Amino acid sequence: MAGKDDEYERKQSRDISRRRFLKGAGLTALSMANLSEAQAAKEASAAIRGPGATAVTLRVNNAVHNLQVEPCETLAETLRTQLGMTGTKVSCDRGTCSACTVWLDGATMCACMTLTVDVQDRAVTTIEGLAQDGKLHPVQEAFIEKDATMCGFCTPGMVMSCAALLARNSSPTLDDVREATCGNFCRCGTYPKVFAATLAAAGKGVK
Asked if 33 is part of the footprint of ligand FES (rule: CB under 6 A), the reply reads no
**Given the complex with ligand FES, which of 41 and 188 has the nearer CB atom?**
188
Binding-residue total with ligand FES (CB under 6 A): 23
The region, left, alpha or beta by phi > 0 then psi within -120 to 50, assigned to residue 154 is alpha
Which residue, 55 or 188, is less far from ligand FES as judged by CB? 188
For ligand FES, give the closer residue by CB, 51 or 185.
185
Binding string, 105-124, against ligand FES, x = CB under 6 A? -----x-x------------
Query: How many angstroms separate the CA atoms of 181 and 162, rounded?
Result: 7
By the rule CB under 6 A, 199 interacts with ligand FES = no
Q: Which of residues 41-100 bind ligand FES (CB under 6 A)?
A: 90-93, 95-100
d(CA 100, CA 96) in angstroms, rounded, equals 10
- Give the number of other CB atoms < 10 A from CB of residue 135: 9
Piece of the chain touching ligand FES by CB under 6 A; list 44-52, 79-87, 182-190, 198-206: 182-190
The yes or no reply on residue 190 touching ligand FES (CB under 6 A) is yes
Q: Contact letters (x/-) for ligand FES, 149-168, by CB under 6 A?
A: xxxxxxx-------------
Give the shortest CB-160-to-ligand FES separation in angstroms.
12
Binding-site ranges for ligand FES (CB under 6 A): 90-93, 95-100, 110, 112, 149-155, 186-188, 190
